[in-house]
A and B are shown apart, each in its own frame.
Chain A
């Protein structure tokens, strides 16, 4: 710090030097470049490429030509696709409302003064820490007629006279997929809600209690406004993931029986297996408006944090 500038410095030939800020700017681009280049190649380009493919008649191994909206016209008249849209709505609406209501309920329960709260928190995380593919294969076993636990219990207790076909009956396949998805997905909601609940200032509750607010009014006027932001982020993020989740349906039912559990990613995957990639791409891209809307709101909320 005590260095004194050498007296001859000013007589040296002047080289244009970048200012500190400019240097930092250059370094900034340099450091961020690897990630940006990766994402341009692996996400941005494929994203637009998918949209382009969906307007062509491309097959694997041969380039396609532009055919306008023909794939989409085909999709909307295709029964498999119609089933996919219906199933996705049923799946997302019922699964997300279950996770919201029960998730909030469990979070409120764990927020009480109970013994071993930390242990309960760790316990809740088990399904979420388990690899998704393991969770869904295990649930397939639980539901399976031969060797599955649920059928064993039902037959043993006499609640059912014969094997219940949880995964291969049209009526039960979707509820079974939803149950398994709930098991795997709800911890994320509970843990996020719990973190938000613990950040609500205790004084607010006390003040509300002094003003004579009952439990419901405290929940309605203190808890809900305080955790609204987190709840919204969790609902939107999870809706994006749920709509696009492949493992649950693929491992448990492969979309069957007769399309009863078909979802977008599985239908697109079948399209790719049949080498009909233009059709498959249009299946994926048809979710884009909803995904874009959800992602836009989540991005706004997350950047406010």
Chain B
């Protein structure tokens, strides 16, 4: 803002920042240390320190539980949803930004409204529709349903990117004899690579983290995605917190790294409203 801070002001600011850091980091710290503890250490000799740390929980998670299968399911679902959604969204976003036709504004509004429509409103009719289409308990069904949030989000974000790329470049290419589609694939998309990466990351993490639809549409343990598998660990009679936290850490770390990598590609201002949470 303005002016230099007095040293007393500075002290207060840094104190507040440290409190903030503790508030943010403590849950993460506790999650990690509990994932490294056995039940007897969690319950009988509780402590805020990682005493008797062991990777036993991780070993059990990846060998005795179905967790590798869950990760595979999540990768298939989130990966496919991302590829499909980013591909069709690029086409749609390009069309909405660069081409002129009737109802274009209405289609733009439709995409914005579908982006804002919450899943809580849609899961009941979708349950009926998915059952009718015989897609219940199938990963394909889940991929299809994930387009409800990934397609509008990717389209909306890609529209922002395409607007930031000057139209002259593709017009030049078309004057030189390229078709419009040729210009899209050879000129515009390569220029939009940072946008494509960011949008792919957000779509992927959104699908990887999704719980409600996966809980409703997947019924057999072999098809469960990671969020469903981890959330079922806390519905038993005895909470095996060590195991649950090992699952949580394993589920969180890859997407958090991805998220930070993706964040770097986000143009400022585009970030607002970028990620549904």
- CB within 8 Å of B: which residues of A? 21, 24-32, 34-36, 38-39, 41-47, 49-50, 53, 60, 106, 108-109, 111-114, 120, 122-135, 137-142, 144, 146-147, 149, 152-153, 183-185, 188, 191-192, 195, 199, 205-206, 209, 218, 230, 233-234, 237, 240-241, 243-244, 246-247, 250-251, 264-265, 268-269, 271-272, 277, 280-281, 284-285, 287-288, 291, 295, 298-299, 302-303
Contact = CB atoms under 8 A, between A and B. Distances in A.
Interface stretch (B52-60, B190-198, B245-253): B245-253
Given A24-B180, A42-B126, A295 B211 contact: no
Contacts of B263: 125, 129
A233 B101 contact: no
Interface of B: 1-2, 4-5, 13-14, 16-17, 20-21, 23-28, 30-31, 34, 42-43, 46-48, 88-89, 91-92, 94-96, 99-102, 104, 107-114, 116-129, 131, 144-145, 147-148, 151-152, 155, 180-181, 205, 208-209, 211-212, 215-216, 227, 230-231, 234, 239, 241, 244-245, 248, 251-252, 255-256, 259-260, 263, 268-269, 271-273, 275-277
A24 B118 contact: no
B244 A141 contact: yes
Contact of B251 (A131, A146, A234): A131
Most buried by A among B121, B181, B231: B121
6 closest residue pairs by CB, A with B: A28-B99, A244-B118, A31-B95, A46-B125, A265-B120, A35-B92
Contacts, number: 288
B37 to A, nearest CB: 9
Contact of A38 (B95, B104, B151): B151
B43 A147 contact: yes
Given A35-B91, A247-B212, 8 more contacts: A28-B100, A34-B88, A43-B117, A129-B259, A131-B227, A218-B2, A250-B231, A269-B216
Contacts of B248: 134, 137-138
Contact of A39 (B16, B110, B123, B276): B110
Contacts of B180: 24, 27
A123 B260 CA distance: 11
A105 B129 CA distance: 46
Contacts of A49: 125, 128-129
A9 to B, nearest CB: 17
Given A123-B21, A133-B230, A244-B121, A299 B245 contact: no
A135 B230 CA distance: 12
B230 A137 contact: yes
Contacts of B123: 268-269, 272, 284
A246 B120 contact: yes
B216 to A, nearest CB: 7
Given A39-B114, A39-B151, A230 B119 contact: no
**Among the interface residues A32, A268, A281, which one has the most CB atoms of the partner chain B within 10 A?**
A32
Interface majority SS on B: helix, strand, loop or mixed?
Answer: helix
A303 B112 contact: yes
A206 B128 contact: no
Contact of B272 (A44, A195, A205): A195
Contact of B112 (A129, A183, A269, A302): A302
A246 B212 CA distance: 7
Given A134-B252, A137-B230, A246-B212, A106 B120 contact: no
Contact of B107 (A36, A41, A43): A36
A40 to B, nearest CB: 8
Contacts of B27: 127, 135, 138-139, 142, 183
25 contacts: A21-B100, A24-B100, A27-B95, A29-B101, A34-B92, A39-B110, A39-B151, A42-B148, A47-B125, A53-B124, A109-B16, A112-B5, A130-B252, A131-B227, A133-B211, A138-B28, A141-B30, A141-B31, A142-B30, A192-B272, A206-B2, A244-B120, A277-B127, A281-B125, A299-B109
Given A39-B152, A141-B241, A295 B260 contact: no
Contact of B121 (A132, A233, A285): A285
Nearest to A37: B88
A183 B112 CA distance: 27
Nearest to B144: A42
B124 A277 contact: yes
B252 A44 contact: no
